[in-house]
Amino acid sequence: MPIRAIIFDCDGTLVDSETLSNRALVEYVAEFGLVISLEESMARFVGCKLADCVADLESQLGRALPEHFIPELRRRMTRIFEAELKPIPGAHELLSRLEHPFAIASSGPRAKIELSLERTGLRAFFPDARIFSAYEIGCWKPDPTIFLRAASSLSVEPAECLVVEDSAPGIRGGVAAGMPTAALGQGEDRARELGAVASLASLSEVPDIIARL
């Protein structure tokens, strides 16, 4: 079945935010006595719901973090994004030339998605109706609901919709939705393990994947 639409993740797929977000997390949790490396944080938390990440950290720390931890962490992430966030290489070029309709399905809050798109010059590509946040839907990847909701808004069947994702939860969610899913930056073996139809080294390969499916 030919591809008629594309659903993109945001963090790590269109905007280069994962290292920045995890840097803020590592630096902040260290203030409470828990020292983890950036590499460990990336391996454990990329693509996961923030509340679940905090619960994992609390388990490791052996006590609850304060109620203000998540709001303060979000403020710190926002400051870093405003100063340093950049688009993933090739994002502008890809979105500018795509002939298929596309949307974003992100596990982040809408405010974070919109800030990320604005700071990287990508906001004009995504009207409000094409931005889907797990916080508004109430389901987080790998639950496929957000992908199915986005596909419905694009008036395509799941099998006609290509998902482009960088994280394991996102790739699993796209596969669970019955959508051909391309794994960005995962490597061929890992992509196959997660059920993706292809491994992408860069966003420039997306048109070739669309043509092949």
Catalytic residue among 9, 11, 143, 166: 9
Pairing mode of beta strands 161-165, 102-106:
unpaired
- Residues 6 or more apart whose CB falls under 8 angstroms from that of 62 comprise none
- Reply yes or no on whether 9 is catalytic: yes
Token output for 161: 């919709």
Residue type, 117: L
DSSP for residue 48: S
Dihedral angle at the C-alpha atoms of 22, 129, 99, 162, nearest 10 degrees?
Answer: 60
Active site (catalytic) residues? 9
